[in-house]
Amino acid sequence: MMAETIPKIRIMKGAEPDLSAATYQIHDESHTIGNALRWMLMKNPKVEFCGYSAPHPSENHIQVRIQMYDKLSSLTALLTALTDLDSLCETVENAYDISLRKDKYEKWEEKS
C-alpha cells in the first residue's frame, strides 16, 4: 500500500548536516498541529526562527522550518516542543475537569 510507505516526518533537502536548521515535513497534519507546534517552538529561546506552512491544499502534509542558535539540534527542539505541548494539553484537560466538577454554573434544558 502506498499509504504505508509515507513517513510521518521527513527532513527536507537542504537541512544543515548538524540539523541546526532544517525543514520537517509532517504527513497527515494540518494547521491544527502546525500552528500549535510553531507557537511552542517559538517559546524556546534557543530557536532563532520557526515557521510552518501548508504548501498546497491537495498535499496532505505541512512543513515546519526550525533554525537554531548556537548550532543546536532542531530535532531536539522539536521533541522538546512536542513534550511541552503535551503537558500543556494535560494541564488544560485537568483544569477543565476540575471546573466541570467543582465550579457552580448554570444548568439548563435545551430542546432538540
Q: How many CB atoms lie within 10 A of CB 22?
A: 22
* Nearest C-alpha neighbor of 51 from the set 80, 21, 88: 21
The nearest distance, CB 59 to other proteins, in angstroms, is 13
Q: What is the CA radius of gyration of the chain?
A: 19
Q: Identify the bridge partners of residue 49 per DSSP, sorted by sequence position.
A: 67
18 vs 59, beta carbon nearer other proteins = 18
* Nearest C-alpha neighbor of 25 from the set 34, 4, 16: 34
53 vs 87, beta carbon nearer other proteins = 87
58 binds other proteins (CB under 8 A): no
Q: Kindly write out the interface string for residues 16-55 of this chain, putting x where it contacts other proteins by CB under 8 A and - elsewhere.
A: -xxx------x--xxxxx-xx-xxx-xxxx----------
The nearest distance, CB 53 to other proteins, in angstroms, is 14
14 vs 56, beta carbon nearer other proteins = 14
Per CB under 8 A, contacts with other proteins among 62-91 are: 75-76, 78-79, 82-91
* Nearest C-alpha neighbor of 69 from the set 20, 11, 18, 19: 20
Instruction: Read off the DSSP letter of residue 6.
Output: S
The nearest distance, CB 27 to other proteins, in angstroms, is 9
